[in-house]
Amino acid sequence: QNHAKVAVLGASGGIGQPLSLLLKNSPLVSRLTLYDIAHTPGVAADLSHIETRANVKGFLGPEQLPECLKGCDVVVIPAGVPRKPGMTRDDLFNTNASIVATLTSACAKHCPEAMICIISNPVNSTIPITSEVFKKHGVYNPNRIFGVTTLDIVRANTFVAELKGLDPARVSVPVIGGHAGKTIIPLISQCTPKVDFPQDQLEKLTGRIQEAGTEVVKAKAGAGSATLSMAYAGARFVFSLVDAMNGKEGVTECAFVRSEETESPYFSTPLLLGKNAIEKNLGIGKISPFEEKMVAEAMSELKASIKKGEEFAKNFK
């Protein structure tokens, strides 16, 4: 049942190109439609020569967007502008909010049943925007709209593995909350295999996971933010989603979704994925006092970012 039709919106960008390459390389994808406001014909022509079965087509500009979306099972949206040194993810709001609202509006019209995976930052606001847009069109299903936080999990796995001399492929750290700074809450206490760190090292590790995006922004010195690791994480999330849609049992991923788990209306926790996207929210589970404190301290920032997104969507024409 490996016939997933996947669209990438923002396919010519820093994340979009490597993400499209990883999707083209997968036997799970049968059709790959690429959209952007520039360069997509070239990116599509280039990828189309790769000896895998996904059929690749490029679409350029707003008038070609409906055609790109028709019949899609999954839509991934990395479109928007990246951070420069000194910027927070929230500084991207003014530009990226409009881009996400416009693109998700087209999704609501042309592929209302598709799984929508949002990478565009600030995710803590762009997911509420997407939900409100889908509500406006009368096609909202909270089980099908995901904020991709997978890079936080990938980073947590990598950093824990480095510190403990483990194979990162065998390490699994749930990361809950949101996708910015203090709202990123790695649950090291739930890591498999079980790991222990002294408190000072735990705090340093947690801080590094929370600020890992900024680490890359600084290292790139103005040339953008995390693109390659984000493309990897985005592809990992899409493959999990497609596996689950194909009937694979026990697929779990964390993602920023509509949630009843905390007082925040959106919150990332481990999710059991299935044929209908979210089969079950697995919740926070048992956490340490240190982690409980982080959850409590994330609430005001999370709620403010969510409200900002919702207000924007209400006024967006």
Q: Where are the beta strands (DSSP E) in the chain?
A: 4-9, 29-36, 55-60, 74-77, 115-118, 145-147, 175-177, 184-186, 251-258, 266-274, 277-281
Q: 179 an active-site residue?
A: yes
User: Where residue 260 falls among pLDDT bands split at 50, 70, 90?
Assistant: very high
Confidence band for 242, pLDDT divided at 50, 70 and 90 = very high
25 annotated as belonging to a binding site for a ligand: no
Residue 89 labelled as part of a binding site? yes
**What's the pLDDT score for residue 305?**
98
31-90 residue pLDDT tens: 999 999 999 999 999 999 999 999 999 999 999 999 999 999 999 999 999 998 999 999
Q: Average pLDDT for residues 272-295, to the nearest whole number?
A: 97
119 labeled binding residue? yes
Mean pLDDT computed over 282-287? 98
Residue 197 has pLDDT above 80, yes or no: yes
Q: Kindly indicate the confidence band of residue 165, based on its pLDDT and cuts at 50, 70 and 90.
A: very high
Q: Does domain 150-305 have CATH number 3.90.110.10?
A: yes
71 has binding-site annotation: no
pLDDT tens, position by position, 132-148: 999 999 999 999 999 99
**How many H-runs (helices) and E-runs (strands) does the chain carry?**
10, 11
Q: What percent of the chain clears pLDDT 70, i.e. is strictly above it?
A: 100
Q: What is the pLDDT of residue 74?
A: 98
If phi over 0 gives left and psi between -120 and 50 gives alpha, with beta otherwise, what is residue 60? beta
Three-state SS at 269? strand
Angle between helices 199-210 and 150-164 (to 10 degrees): 140
pLDDT given at position 2: 74
Token pair recorded at residue 19: 């993400």
Q: In the structure, what pLDDT confidence band is assigned to residue 1 with cuts at 50, 70 and 90?
A: low
Q: Say which amino acid occupies 102.
A: T
DSSP-assigned states of every residue in 158-184: HHHHHHHT--GGG-B--EEE-SSGGGE
Cα–Cα dist 184/152, whole Å: 8
Encode pLDDT of 24-45 as tens digits: 999 999 999 999 999 999 999 9
Contact 24, 63 (CB under 8 A): no
Q: Which two tokens stand for residue 202?
A: 């735990």
Backbone φ/ψ region at 163: left (φ over 0), alpha (ψ -120 to 50), beta: alpha
User: What is the CATH topology of the domain spanning 4-148?
Assistant: Rossmann fold (3.40.50)
Domain with CATH 3.90.110.10 in the chain: 150-305
d(CA 276, CA 115): 9
Does the annotation place 83 within a ligand binding site?
yes
Interval 95-135: pLDDT, tens: 999 999 999 999 999 999 999 999 999 999 999 999 999 99
